[in-house]
Structure 1
Amino acid sequence: MSRRTVLITGASAGIGAAMARVYAAEGWDLILTARREAALDALADETRRIGANVTVLTADLAEPGAPEALVAQITARGLTVDGLVNNAGFSLTTGFLATKPEQHAGSIRVMLTAPVELSRLLLPGMVGRRFGRILNVASIAGLMPATGGDTLYGPIKSFLIKASQGLRLEMQGTGVHVTALCPGYTFTEFHDINGSRADVTSAYPAWMWMTAEAVARAGYDAVEANRPRVIPGWRNRLLSIIPKLLPNGVALSIIAGHARRLKRL
């Protein structure tokens, strides 16, 4: 059987890079995309040593039309996408009013619009071939009450979880699997980029954190098993349940305390 190919967005670091290593180890070829070409090239060299054929395509998914342009580049190279990992994302922790409208628009395009558009562009081919995998990297934040500071992040991730569930139902019987991956705190560059590294490190103990490698493995195994959602780590699964058992006002107060510890309110 010919090798499968997976497109991974936000592949230059963190969970995206870890997903590339997992897929390469499992015998998949890779299409890696992100904004940072040098980091992608280094990851491509690493995964080629595992035996993967790797294509690097730089793209900024915050730009309108980026998903269509990316798929056009893939098609022009004669590549077939059998798997899609919608991983690109970031959070804006300066507060809703202190964040520029174009930054809000960019975050929505990267984490909400791009996954929807890429899925819509690539799914017809997957359905036609009777094989496909879509792994949407959401967050435990999408299962928790909303918080201030990074006001849109949780709602966007909640959308991604629900959209994954609905799409999975539509794809039943087609050979296409759809899964939402909902990690908690993960050791990546994510918190360095949004400037919250010192705050989250001091606010939360080491036992609450997982490695990107463990999260990536959990995601890969879940989408192969066609599970609708996976929350890596029993502690994160417990944390996602507790707010649902509390009155809404109490849960929101707890989350507000979380935001204050991170200096977001």
Structure 2
Amino acid sequence: MKRTALITGASAGIGAALARVYAEKGWDLILVARRATLLEDLARELTVDHGATAVVLTADLADPDAPHRLAMTLEQRGLTVDALINNAGFSRTSGFLATDPDEHAAMIDVMLTAPIALSRLLIPGMVERGFGRVLNVASLAGLMPATGGDTLYGPIKSFLIKASAGLHLELAGTGVNVTALCPGYTLTEFHDVNGSREEVSSAYPAWMWQTADHVARVGYAAVEANRPRVVPGWRNNLLAAIPKLLPDNLALKIIGGHAKRLKRI
């Protein structure tokens, strides 16, 4: 019997790339996002290219009840989740005071509350079956000093990284692997959606950018190897290490300069 991976935020970017990698590796998919048409197109692609069964479930994870409704739908349809990939996410870079509080609440629900809720709902079944994979798509931002402009994004990802590490330790020996994937700048629609495409494209050279396919393959390999955390690319690993060697005030000053280059504060 083929195993099944549920991927949130699967309609584009890293989520869609992860779906393609999992299908290539012989998994069936449950694709979750808000945009049904994109999910249906991806599902057809995965079936044609890899023979995968791909179920489409639309959900808006900004709704706090969405994880529970998803779990009920899975149970009603007899769908078993062997891998949970918490990938859905977005950011707002106009500044804390200039961002609608409802948008900040949605960020917290989508990137923090939903991954924790889905993990709590789905991991018990994995433990009972003696097999499971949980891949939480965090960010290099979660390993860096705080920034202004996208004030909540980094802290949310830091939480996800720490929570993943705790789960990784707690589930040792159960057959359930837990990994936090921490990509740096990746070529997706992410920066188009938050309105920073022009700034980031002009601020950073091509060598700093990775493809979604590369990030997805690194993430898949890491969770299969049961690594607690993975940062794709040696340059990103170097960037993650440098702040640990600097005094806090200097690290914050450097990151503050980064934010001003992006004209976001």
Scaled to the shorter chain, the TM-score interval is over 0.9
- For 2:102 and 2:63, the matched residues in 1 are separated by 10
Q: Note the C-alpha offset of 1:94.
A: 1.0
- For 2:250 and 2:81, the matched residues in 1 are separated by 45
* Partner secondary structure for residue 84 of structure 1: strand
Aligned to 2:70: 70
- For 1:112 and 1:69, the matched residues in 2 are separated by 17
- Counterpart of 2:82 in structure 1: which amino acid? D
Aligned to 2:134: 134
Aligned to 1:6: 5
Aligned to 1:237: 237
Aligned to 2:200: 200
Query: Is it true that 1:103 corresponds to 2:71 in the alignment?
Result: no
* Partner secondary structure for residue 215 of structure 1: helix
- For 2:131 and 2:46, the matched residues in 1 are separated by 23
Structure 2: runs of 5+ lacking an equivalent: none
Alpha-carbon RMSD: 0.5
* Partner secondary structure for residue 232 of structure 1: coil
- Counterpart of 1:13 in structure 2: which amino acid? A
Q: Cα deviation per residue 1:167-188 (whole Å; 9 max; x = unaligned)? A: 0101011000000000000000
* Partner secondary structure for residue 60 of structure 1: coil
Q: Is the 2:133–2:223 contact (alpha carbons within 8 Å) kept by the matching residues of 1?
A: yes
Query: Is it true that 1:42 corresponds to 2:41 in the alignment?
Result: yes
Aligned to 1:23: 22
- Counterpart of 2:8 in structure 1: which amino acid? T
Q: Is the 2:64–2:114 contact (alpha carbons within 8 Å) kept by the matching residues of 1?
A: no
Identity %: 72
Query: Is it true that 1:89 corresponds to 2:82 in the alignment?
Result: no
Q: Note the C-alpha offset of 1:124.
A: 0.7
* Partner secondary structure for residue 128 of structure 2: helix
- For 1:10 and 1:75, the matched residues in 2 are separated by 21
Aligned to 1:255: 255
- For 1:65 and 1:181, the matched residues in 2 are separated by 25
State the aligned residue count: 264
Structure 1 length-normalised TM = 0.99
* Partner secondary structure for residue 118 of structure 1: helix
- For 2:170 and 2:243, the matched residues in 1 are separated by 30
Structure 1: runs of 5+ lacking an equivalent: none
* Partner secondary structure for residue 106 of structure 1: helix
- Counterpart of 1:6 in structure 2: which amino acid? A
Aligned to 2:168: 168
Structure 2 length-normalised TM = 0.99
* Partner secondary structure for residue 88 of structure 1: coil
Q: How does 1:218-233 map to 2 (within 5 A)?
A: 218-233=218-233
- For 1:92 and 1:70, the matched residues in 2 are separated by 26
- For 2:72 and 2:7, the matched residues in 1 are separated by 16
Stretch of structure 1 that moved more, 97-106 or 182-191 = 97-106
* Partner secondary structure for residue 155 of structure 2: helix
Q: Is the 2:141–2:157 contact (alpha carbons within 8 Å) kept by the matching residues of 1?
A: yes
Q: Cα deviation per residue 1:10-54 (whole Å; 9 max; x = unaligned)? A: 000000000000000000000000000111011101101111101
- For 2:64 and 2:186, the matched residues in 1 are separated by 29
- For 1:33 and 1:109, the matched residues in 2 are separated by 15
Q: Note the C-alpha offset of 1:116.
A: 0.1
* Partner secondary structure for residue 97 of structure 2: coil
Q: Note the C-alpha offset of 1:70.
A: 1.0
- For 2:144 and 2:90, the matched residues in 1 are separated by 18
Q: Note the C-alpha offset of 1:74.
A: 1.3
- For 1:71 and 1:48, the matched residues in 2 are separated by 24
- Counterpart of 2:107 in structure 1: which amino acid? S
* Partner secondary structure for residue 55 of structure 1: strand
- Counterpart of 1:35 in structure 2: which amino acid? R
Aligned to 1:264: 264
